[in-house]
């Protein structure tokens, strides 16, 4: 929960201080406007008391449109980025999560009108109005304000610092660390110690959805879809976790998350209702608080994340279907699955032998029950070594016989592929391949001991974890689905990616420690897991899907993940 994590505790204390004092800490530097291109402008954001202490932040605003167009005009996508130019903070590579090339998003043409205290960007029916002091950003369509960023002045950006000059109470009020200075450099949860070599790096901001009494999103949580009804004192948590048994009607984290809200804005003066949305591309742990305003008119939210930058995509509709089209123009469109996926799937923990599988399939025939897919869990592998078959219970000849029978009856097979590799067998080819190429997550080293491969406990026992943040590793993983790498693996066997939160049985919250290291798109292991956690499972899924496409380019892939 928020109360158990230091960065969220800090942010709540920061909000209380801002509300109590009326502080307006951030402003846009006059004269800092620069136009990078026909669709994007930049500004510098300064902290009112931060001269000589904090570097100015960089605010970028850029309009885009979907090439396919949306009803009511082609405009509708605004990218809003706030970052610290001098800091190395993780951002997903362009095209991985957002700005996917094949989705057809293209820069929009904007008109920039700059005044002494304000700048307005206009792109067709859409506009963004930036007020300089205090910093506030209105997002409009057809002249109507739909969203405002920093209306309540909750912007918080904890810049990196040395431990010796960290928050000590002697600084002026600059960010949340000056209100709550506990656990900035080390934190303990349930007996696990999280070292924080970079110190506090959290970010946060508030977003108001105007005349919006209905809002949905922030998947996935085991509660009702309607977010704008005040239900929880705790904010919604965004942190992918292996949750075996979860509570209902709570804002706690589950297997995955999508940090997006869609709001429905009431019609004004008898006009039609409209919709808008916002997506934050930040894969670190996040919390989002959703409240209905006292007058029942607006939906108020605040967002805070442990690390990274504030990189938003605002979708200005006007209809809910337009918001979805704009979202997919940024993130890409889902692929059509094989037609058979719409049929009956049969899964059990576990099918132990080839005979088990054939007997179950035969029973469906005997009782004239349609069956399209059978799923194989862990026990089909050789002692939980993925991309293998158990030599005793699923021998090569038996697998061939099983696949021939399933093919004869027009049935498909799904096998489980988890992203942890048994570390105790030098002859396990997949693990040796990843280790030999340096494609494993590392545990942090120190001055006397370099970083070593991280080892945690999962289904096979002691396990290593492939570094799916590294695009070179993902390309290597995709090759594992080739016919030559996966014995007895025909084109129409599909894949179940499980445990990719990732799950580490002896790790904090059953996951990777936050201070383990990834290579990502850097040359060295400089990215902490805390910065990329919510992307790990996404990258597992993406790499597996690419493996299917490379293996059989003319077949639709089917890769399911939780």
Answer whether residue 34 shows pLDDT above 80.
yes
| Same domain as 352, residue 315 | no
| Same domain as 285, residue 380 | no
Domain end call among 291, 308, 331: 331
| Same domain as 398, residue 297 | no
- CATH number of the domain bearing residue 546: 3.20.20.80
Per-residue confidence (pLDDT) for residue 3, from 0 to 100: 87
Domain end call among 331, 350, 377: 331
- CATH number of the domain bearing residue 203: 2.60.40.1760
Per-residue confidence (pLDDT) for residue 191, from 0 to 100: 87
pLDDT tens, residue by residue, 464-506? 999 999 999 999 999 999 988 886 666 679 999 999 999 999 9
pLDDT bucket at 222, cuts 50 / 70 / 90: very high
pLDDT bucket at 69, cuts 50 / 70 / 90: very low
Answer whether residue 68 shows pLDDT above 60.
no
Q: What is the mean pLDDT of residues 69-73?
A: 44
Query: Residue 56 and residue 52: Cα distance in Å, rounded?
Result: 10
Backbone angles phi, psi at 459, to 5 degrees: -50, -45
What percentage of the chain exceeds 70 in pLDDT? 96
Query: Residue 537 and residue 68: Cα distance in Å, rounded?
Result: 30
Answer whether residue 310 shows pLDDT above 80.
yes
Q: What is the three-class DSSP state of 140?
A: strand
Per-residue confidence (pLDDT) for residue 448, from 0 to 100: 73
Per-residue confidence (pLDDT) for residue 113, from 0 to 100: 95
* Token digits of residue 47: 């902290």
| Same domain as 387, residue 327 | no
| Same domain as 75, residue 106 | yes
Query: Residue 151 and residue 136: Cα distance in Å, rounded?
Result: 6
What percentage of the chain exceeds 90 in pLDDT? 78
Query: Residue 141 and residue 122: Cα distance in Å, rounded?
Result: 10
Answer whether residue 230 shows pLDDT above 80.
no
| Same domain as 281, residue 346 | no
| Same domain as 252, residue 356 | no
Domain end call among 277, 299, 331: 331
> Could you tell me the CA-to-CA distances from 3 to 100, 181, 340, 526 in Å, in that order?
36, 15, 46, 29
* Token digits of residue 220: 């996935």
Per-residue confidence (pLDDT) for residue 37, from 0 to 100: 81
Helices (H), 253-395: 320-331, 354-366
| Same domain as 361, residue 326 | no
- CA-nearest of 168, 234, 233, 170 to 200 is 168
Per-residue confidence (pLDDT) for residue 293, from 0 to 100: 62
Per-residue confidence (pLDDT) for residue 70, from 0 to 100: 43
| Same domain as 367, residue 506 | yes
Residue 84 belongs to what domain range?
2-181+190-331
Per-residue confidence (pLDDT) for residue 219, from 0 to 100: 94
Indicate the pTM of the whole model: 0.94
Mean pLDDT, the chain, as a whole number? 92
pLDDT tens, residue by residue, 140-175? 999 999 999 999 999 999 999 888 765 555 688 999
Report yes or no: 312 and 341 within 8 Å, Cβ to Cβ.
no
**DSSP H/E element including 472:** helix 471-479
pLDDT tens, residue by residue, 361-417? 999 999 999 999 999 999 999 999 999 999 999 999 999 999 999 999 999 999 999
Answer whether residue 295 shows pLDDT above 80.
no
Backbone angles phi, psi at 288, to 5 degrees: -130, 120
Per-residue confidence (pLDDT) for residue 489, from 0 to 100: 67
The DSSP bridge pattern shows strands 186-189 and 212-217 to be: unpaired
| Same domain as 348, residue 221 | no
Tokens 């054939």 -> residue? 358
| Same domain as 172, residue 299 | yes
pLDDT tens, residue by residue, 72-111? 447 899 999 999 998 889 999 999 999 988 777 889 989 9
Per-residue confidence (pLDDT) for residue 356, from 0 to 100: 96
Answer whether residue 71 shows pLDDT above 60.
no
| Overall domain count for the chain | 2
pLDDT bucket at 551, cuts 50 / 70 / 90: very high
- Number of other residues whose CB lies within 10 A of the CB of residue 282: 27
| Same domain as 345, residue 321 | no
Per-residue confidence (pLDDT) for residue 488, from 0 to 100: 66
* Residue 182: partners with Cβ closer than 8 Å, 6 or more residues away: 6, 9
């Amino acid at each position: 929960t928020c109360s158990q994590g230091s960065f969220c505790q800090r942010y709540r204390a920061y909000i209380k201080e801002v509300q109590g004092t009326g502080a307006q800490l951030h402003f846009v530097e006059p004269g800092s406007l620069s136009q990078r291109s026909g669709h994007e402008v930049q500004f510098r954001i300064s902290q009112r008391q931060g001269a000589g202490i904090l570097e100015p932040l960089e605010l970028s605003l850029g309009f885009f449109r979907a090439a396919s167009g949306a009803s009511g005009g082609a405009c509708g996508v605004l990218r809003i980025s706030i970052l610290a130019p001098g800091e190395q903070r993780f951002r997903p590579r362009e095209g991985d999560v957002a700005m996917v090339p094949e989705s057809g998003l293209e820069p929009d043409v904007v008109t920039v009108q700059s005044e002494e205290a304000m700048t307005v960007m206009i792109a067709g029916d859409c506009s963004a109005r930036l007020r300089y002091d205090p910093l506030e950003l209105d997002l409009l369509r057809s002249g109507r304000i739909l969203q405002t960023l920093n209306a309540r002045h909750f912007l918080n950006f904890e810049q990196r610092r040395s431990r010796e000059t960290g928050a000590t109470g002697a600084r002026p009020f600059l960010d949340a660390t000056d209100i709550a200075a506990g656990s900035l450099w080390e934190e303990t949860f349930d007996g696990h110690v999280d070292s924080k070599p970079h110190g506090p790096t959290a970010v946060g901001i508030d977003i108001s959805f105007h005349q919006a009494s209905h809002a949905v999103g922030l998947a996935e949580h085991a509660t009702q879809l309607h977010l704008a009804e005040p239900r929880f004192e705790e904010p919604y948590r965004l942190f992918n976790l292996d949750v075996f048994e979860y509570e209902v009607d709570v804002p706690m984290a589950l297997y995955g998350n999508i940090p997006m809200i869609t709001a429905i804005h009431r019609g004004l003066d008898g006009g039609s209702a409209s919709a808008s949305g916002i997506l934050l591309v930040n894969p670190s742990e996040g919390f989002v608080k959703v409240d209905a305003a006292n007058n029942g008119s607006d939906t108020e939210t605040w967002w805070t994340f442990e690390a990274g930058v504030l990189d938003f995509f605002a979708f200005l509709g006007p209809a809910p279907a337009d918001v979805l089209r704009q979202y997919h123009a940024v993130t890409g469109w889902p692929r059509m699955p094989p037609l058979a996926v719409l049929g009956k799937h049969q899964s059990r923990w576990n099918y132990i032998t080839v005979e088990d599988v054939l007997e179950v399939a035969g029973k469906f025939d005997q009782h004239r029950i349609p069956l399209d897919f059978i799923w194989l869990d862990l026990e089909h592998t050789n002692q939980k070594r993925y991309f293998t078959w158990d030599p005793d219970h699923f021998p090569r000849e038996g697998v061939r016989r099983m696949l021939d029978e399933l093919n004869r009856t027009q049935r498909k097979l799904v096998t489980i592929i988890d992203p942890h590799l048994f570390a105790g067998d030098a002859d396990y080819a997949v693990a040796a391949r990843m280790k030999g190429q340096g494609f494993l997550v590392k545990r942090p080293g120190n001055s006397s001991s370099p970083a070593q491969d991280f080892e945690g406990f999962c289904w096979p026992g002691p396990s290593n974890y492939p570094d799916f943040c590294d695009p070179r590793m993902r390309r290597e993983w995709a090759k594992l689905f080739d016919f030559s790498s996966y014995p007895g693996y025909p084109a129409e066997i599909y894949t179940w990616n499980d445990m990719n939160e990732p799950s580490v049985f002896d790790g904090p919250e059953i996951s990777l420690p936050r201070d383990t290291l990834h290579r990502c798109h850097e040359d060295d292991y400089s990215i902490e897991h805390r910065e990329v956690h919510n992307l790990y499972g996404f990258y597992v899924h993406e790499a597996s899907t690419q493996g299917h496409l490379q293996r059989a380019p003319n077949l639709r892939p089917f890769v399911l993940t939780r």
